[in-house]
Amino acid sequence: MKRELPSIGGVRLSNPFILGPMAGVTDLPFRLICHEFGAGLVSMEMVSANAVFHGSRKIDAFVAISENEHPVSMQLFGPDPEVMAYAAGKLSGVPCDILDINMGCPVPKIVNNNEGSALMKDIDRAAAIVRAVKKAAGKPVTVKIRAGFSSDSINAPELAAALEEAGADAIAVHGRTRDQYYAGKADWSVIRRVKERVRIPVIGNGDADSAGRALELMEETGCDFVMIARAARGNPWIFRECLSLYEDGELPPRPSREETAELMLRHARMQLSVRGDRLGILEMRKHIAWYTQGYENSARVRAEINEALSYGELAGIIDRWARGGAV
């Protein structure tokens, strides 16, 4: 199954499995962990071009990059070509390897501002954004889109061709429409049609929730890379599993309860180091909910964690959970 991978604008990935961008999830600690477990490319949280334009200091945490996570992609979103180009130029000093443009976010506050997946309704504007960002970025530019804005406007192949013409170096396609959000089934046939339409690399996304499904997505669509997002929450081991199945045809054993607990604690230490004690603990609550999902006593440990105010309290709760005791 393993085959030589194309580069993305000259950036060579070691394997085809990519951590997708997720707001509030793919911060620096989580990216480092996913890179460690084998992700071929990790993606940052999306950054607002308007926030960059207006000089917001809140973006500093979003653009922090470690030398230990490359290759890494930074994602921008915005509705205006000139503002997007300004932001790309302003952030040109950020040592990311790839600049990604979000044209797939379905969240109402984004769509209502003509950002994210709303751009799929205006191919000319979408292409103008890519041309402007490509000129200003000084690095490879990729675009993340959906199958279409709605079920009666599946236009990903047409849009992808226009974005390729505008200078995009790769296209990531989520096989759902904006109207679906994350419900229902991803339509992989749309990803295949995009792959047949363009010459640049295509990144398939949607329902790749296990190593087996990730490889199925590649086989069914011919896509060059697979983007894994929600399935990686609390499960960075998915990249280790994808890589093993891709290279050796075998699945490694799932992590033990003890290994899960050890990683939760290491993740917490990393989070507190980056965000400080208070914000770090708050950020870890959702991660621990994901890590422990499906385990016995998971609801109880989540309830306890939500009351924890220090690393010591958090560590005690996780240690008892790891040993199978009551929390």
Q: Show which residues are catalytic.
A: 105
CB 156 within 8 A of CB 145: yes
d(CA 30, CA 36): 10
Q: Report yes or no: 280 and 310 within 8 Å, Cβ to Cβ.
A: no
In 10 A of CB 219, how many CB atoms? Answer: 11
Of the candidates 91, 79, 201, the one whose C-alpha atom is nearest the C-alpha of residue 136 is 91
Q: Tokens 């890590």 — which residue?
A: 291
Residue pair 103/91 in contact (Cβ under 8 Å)? The answer is no
- Positive or negative torsion for Cα 271, 274, 26, 211: negative
Alpha-carbon gap, residue 17 to 240, rounded angstroms? 10
* Alpha helices (H) along the chain: 28-36, 49-53, 81-90, 108-111, 123-137, 156-166, 188-197, 211-221, 237-248, 257-275, 277-292, 298-305, 311-322
Amino acid identity, residue 230?
A: R
Query: Which residues, at least 6 apart from 199, have a Cβ–Cβ distance to it below 8 Å?
Result: 164
Give the CA distances from residue 93 to residues 128, 227, 229, in Å, rounded to whole numbers and listed in that order.
23, 26, 26
Shortest CA distance to 168 belongs to which of 98, 115, 221? 98
CA atoms within 13 A of residue 286's CA, in its CB half-sphere:
12
